[in-house]
Amino acid sequence: MLTSLDGFFEGPNHDISWHNVDQEFNEFAVEQTSLVDTMLFGRRTYQLFEGFWPDAHKLPDITKEDLAVAQIINHAKKIVFSKTLQSVSEKENWKNIQLEKEVEAGFITELKKQPGKDIAVFGSSNLGVSLLEKGLLDEVRILLNPIVIGKGTPLFHGLKNKVDFKLTKSRNFASGNVLLYYHPQFKT
Amino acid sequence: MRRIVVTEFMSLDGVFEDPGGAEGFKYGGWTMAFNNEEFMKFKTEELMAADDMLLGRITYEDFAKAWPERSGDPFSDKFNSMPKYVVSKTIKKVTWNNSHIIKGGSAAKEIARLKETDGGDIIVHGSGQLVNFLLELALIDELRVLLYPVVLGTGKRLFAKNYSKLKLIEASPFKTGVVALRYKQVK
């Protein structure tokens, strides 16, 4: 999740125009995305991705990093969790999609047992909260932007009880962004 | 020109309420388990570089209750002896040692005047409303945030309604997972 210093991942009206990443991060993103072969989405993030990635290669100013990411996302197994979406459809450069109505612990656990690379959740705040509360989230990566936005939706908005985390890694970028890796700590 | 240094404790979801546990918040004291020798070193260096404290009324009143009873260590002694300026429209009496009132209406002028005097940093702790005021007027020279590895889900947030770009000076993790962040305000 990309967040402001004051802990918001989006401004009012889902505004993410303030999100900032640099070239160094883009190169890092290609590396990271290549470690993943499955992506889980909530409806809103899925629709954002669907609206951009399949045709991204046609953009005149597309970077080579974005081209690489587009390829990976296209081929990855994409699972969308939504009670309201009726269907998801494949199109050119956008294949391998599945729609699920509920976030079921059994389904997710089975998915995790399959051989393969890591499973990524991009954006998708409500889905993230659901996975966190069910103890199914293994790692949270926060890209902290050097900005205070004052209003918006906080990280893990809707979480019923506080969650402690363990910081496992951190990395600073030239843009002033700080990438922080955390493992949720669950009381057993 | 002296620097105004704002120093805050924050959860990953931007909450700054009751980090020490004295204010009766549901998760009060949520920072305590993470404060190790790296934390003490960070806070001590910060305090020793400062000559004055600038606070809003609520934080001032909380500190005025808790700090006078502490003594015998360099940190508490300095906290109690140093000049404190409380910015408030309503406060009439101050009981904590070496306290001075800055009337709400003339805050900008008085703070500018304080910055022109000689001395070390002017340090601001907590003080949500005052910090928003300083942020809006671009008076913050350094913003220090200790980011705790916890999501609270509820609680008062700092920086309500303000928008400001920042420049990162330093980001250093402590062994306990707290990340010490230092920023300049981009004016």
B26, B53, B164, A2: CA torsion to nearest 10? -40
CB proximity A143 to B under 8 Å: no
Question: What is the C-alpha to C-alpha distance for residues A182 and A166, in angstroms, rounded to an integer?
Answer: 5
Chain B contacts of A7, Cβ < 8 Å? 10-15, 157
Chain A contacts of B6, Cβ < 8 Å? none
pLDDT tens across A53-110, in order?
Answer: 999 999 999 999 989 999 999 999 999 999 999 999 999 999 999 999 999 999 999 9
User: If pLDDT is split at 50, 70 and 90, which confidence band does A187 have?
Assistant: low
CA distance B77 to chain A (A): 32
Structural tokens at position A124: 């998708």
CB contact under 8 A, A146 and B163: no
pLDDT tens across A3-12, in order?
Answer: 999 999 999 9
Average pLDDT over residues A119-140: 95
Question: In this model, does residue A16 exceed pLDDT 80?
Answer: yes
CA distance A89 to chain B (A): 35
pLDDT (0 to 100) of residue A22: 85
pLDDT (0 to 100) of residue A23: 87
pLDDT (0 to 100) of residue B35: 95
Q: How far is CA B40 from the centre of its chain?
A: 15
pLDDT (0 to 100) of residue B24: 87
State the DSSP string of A53-64. STTGGG-TT--H
CB proximity A166 to B under 8 Å: yes
Question: In this model, does residue A38 exceed pLDDT 90?
Answer: yes
CB contact under 8 A, A167 and B179: yes
Test the A interface: residue of B131, B142, B158, B168 with most A CBs within 10 Å: B168
CB proximity A176 to B under 8 Å: yes
- The overall average pLDDT reported for chain A is 94
CB contact under 8 A, A142 and B13: no
Average pLDDT over residues B78-84: 96
CA distance B83 to chain A (A): 30
Residue A41 φ then ψ, to 5°: -130, 150
Beta strands in B22-97, from DSSP E residues, in sequence order: 50-56, 84-88
Whose CA is closest to A32, among A145, A139, A166, A185?
A139
Question: What is the C-alpha to C-alpha distance for residues B47 and B168, in angstroms, rounded to an integer?
Answer: 21
User: If pLDDT is split at 50, 70 and 90, which confidence band does B29 have?
Assistant: very high
On whether the pTM is more than 0.80, the answer is yes
- The overall average pLDDT reported for chain B is 94
The DSSP secondary-structure symbol of B3 reads: P
Residue B166 φ then ψ, to 5°: -130, 160
pLDDT (0 to 100) of residue B76: 95
Chain B contacts of A139, Cβ < 8 Å? none
| Contact call for residues B4 and B122 (beta carbons, < 8 A) | yes
Question: What is the C-alpha to C-alpha distance for residues B76 and B58, in angstroms, rounded to an integer?
Answer: 20
pLDDT tens across B125-163, in order?
Answer: 999 999 999 998 999 999 999 999 999 999 999 887 778
Burial code (b: 16+ CB inside 10 Å, e: under 16) for B3-14 equals ebbbbbbbbbbb
- Half-sphere exposure (CA, 13 Å, Cβ side) for A51? 6
* Helix-helix angle B74-81:B37-48, to 10 degrees: 30
CB contact under 8 A, B163 and A8: no
pLDDT (0 to 100) of residue A30: 92
User: If pLDDT is split at 50, 70 and 90, which confidence band does A119 have?
Assistant: very high
* Window A:1-60, CB contacts with B under 8 Å: 3-8
Whose CA is closest to A45, among A120, A140, A96?
A120
Least confident of A83-97, A140-154, A166-180, B156-170: B156-170
Question: What is the C-alpha to C-alpha distance for residues A119 and A122, in angstroms, rounded to an integer?
Answer: 10
- Half-sphere exposure (CA, 13 Å, Cβ side) for B100? 13
Beta bridge partners of A180: A142, A170
Chain B contacts of A4, Cβ < 8 Å? 14
Average pLDDT over residues A127-140: 96
CB contact under 8 A, A178 and B171: yes
Strands ordered across the beta sheet of A118-121? A97-100, A77-81, A36-42, A118-121
Q: Computed over its alpha carbons, how large is the radius of gyration of chain B? A: 16
Question: What is the C-alpha to C-alpha distance for residues B178 and B35, in angstroms, rounded to an integer?
Answer: 8
Chain B contacts of A165, Cβ < 8 Å? 12, 149-151, 177
Kind plus residue range of the DSSP H or E element containing A140: strand A140-144
| Contact call for residues A163 and B151 (beta carbons, < 8 A) | yes
Q: How far is CA B142 from the centre of its chain?
A: 11
Provide the percentage of residues in chain B whose pLDDT is more than 70: 99
